[in-house]
Amino acid sequence: MQLRKDKIPYSLYIICFLLLILLMLIFSMNAGYIQIPIADVWETIIGHGTASNELTIFNFRLPRMIIALLVGAGIAVSGAILQAVSKNALADPGILGINAGAGFMIVLYIFFIQGNAFYQSHIAVFIMPLVALFGAFSAAGIIFLLAWKKGSVKPTRMILVGIGVNAGFTAGLTIFQMKMNPTDFTQALVWISGSIWSATWTYVLAALPWLIILIPYALYKARTLDVLNLGEQSAVGVGVHVNKERGKLLLIAVALAGSCVAIGGGITFVGLIAPHIARALVGTRHQRMLPICILFGGLLVLTADTIARVILAPLELPVGIVLSIIGAPYFIYLLLFKN
């Protein structure tokens, strides 16, 4: 017997996702080229582990897992906002070219500071989100400017323009990659594919302020997203300044995508899949959907990164490749069977 969505307590979804994330965190700390038994993981967490286990867990694996959760949550919320504001079920910061714009500016940034002492400094890491934001806003501005027609943005037109902008930024990115030294070229290539392999606590601190501000603000705007879903006339009728609110929400979505790209690279499909799964589970109300979206997005990237780290150990796949293997079939499914 199938249970209807409203028959399953909302709190049960939250608890289940939190438990899944906890289990995946434990498995991720345990798994890898250097396997650490679960008992030793617990001993290390409470401060009684060996020096090598403490180094592996606290310096390498834990920052990486936290960044995976942050990036997944941020991109998932960004995708949910873009889908609501554009009324396009296929909207995603990766598909639309926003990630490519942020990535282009990051590669440009690396290209001009490579070899300098500044390149190795912690300050360079904290500036990266700002650089990525500039690139993301540039891409978003171009997309919406070209997609705007007769007073509105047509969903199909926006997707097509986004694909074109994505291709343009990717081409520019490749040109600057070819001029890099071999080491930076390899790092940039892996990063563009979506990778959090070099994650440190510095990257966590660089990303945290942005996500701590932007995600709660997106949750605060959940009612506005619901009203916008009713249509422009209905939104105006209840006193919502449609263009102003759309502008605010788009700024939040693009800023979330840019800050996540700065630390996680070109991670795609999370912003597409997470909102769809959340809506399928708890419905379209954003007050209920966005928290599920955050949890599922974090779980998805954490799981994909663990698979990427373990499946070919000691080698690692970029997490973006694993997510593409998952996301591409789902994208095709939406196109073919969900109109």
What is the per-residue pLDDT across 28-60, written as a single tens digit (0 to 9) for each?
988 877 888 888 888 888 888 788 888 888 888
The model's pTM? 0.88
Burial class (CB within 10 angstroms; exposed 0-12, middle 13-18, buried 19+) of 60 = middle
- Diameter of the chain measured on Cα atoms: 66
Identify whether 116 is part of a domain.
yes
Q: Which residue has the higher pLDDT, 73 or 2?
A: 73
Q: CATH no. for residue 188?
A: 1.10.3470.10
- pLDDT, residue 114, reads 62
Domains in the chain, number: 1
Average pLDDT for 13-30: 94
Average pLDDT for 126-154: 82
- pLDDT, residue 304, reads 92
Identify whether 310 is part of a domain.
yes
Q: How many residues does the chain have?
A: 339
* Helix, strand, or coil (residue 313): coil
Identify whether 11 is part of a domain.
no
Strands (E), the chain: 148-149, 152-153
Residue type for position 213: I
Q: Which residue has the higher pLDDT, 243 or 170?
A: 170
pLDDT at 66 > cutoff 60:
yes
Identify whether 3 is part of a domain.
no
pLDDT at 169 > cutoff 70:
yes
Identify whether 92 is part of a domain.
yes
Contacts of 117 (CB under 8 A, 6+ apart): none
Alpha-carbon torsion (83, 87, 91, 96), positive or negative: negative
Identify whether 211 is part of a domain.
yes
Q: Which of 10-19, 50-59, 167-176, 231-240 has the highest mean pLDDT?
A: 10-19
Average pLDDT for 232-239: 67
Identify whether 179 is part of a domain.
yes
C-alpha neighbours within 13 Å on the C-beta side of residue 89: 16
- pLDDT, residue 1, reads 35
Average pLDDT for 202-206: 87
What whole-number distance in Å separates Cα of residue 111 and Cα of residue 304?
29
What whole-number distance in Å separates Cα of residue 283 and Cα of residue 238?
22
- Give 70-96 pLDDT, tens digit per residue: 999 999 999 999 988 888 787 888 877
Identify whether 33 is part of a domain.
no
Q: Which of 22-31, 110-119, 159-168, 240-249 has the highest mean pLDDT?
A: 22-31
- pLDDT, residue 339, reads 59
Q: Do 328 and 269 meet the contact criterion of CB atoms below 8 Å apart? A: yes
Helices 122-147 and 242-264 sit at what angle, rounded to 10 degrees? Answer: 140
- pLDDT, residue 118, reads 45
- pLDDT, residue 88, reads 79
Residues spanned by the domain of 215: 41-337
Q: How confident is the model at residue 67 (pLDDT cuts 50, 70, 90)?
A: very high
Considering the chain, what is the average pLDDT of its residues? 83
Q: How confident is the model at residue 2 (pLDDT cuts 50, 70, 90)?
A: very low
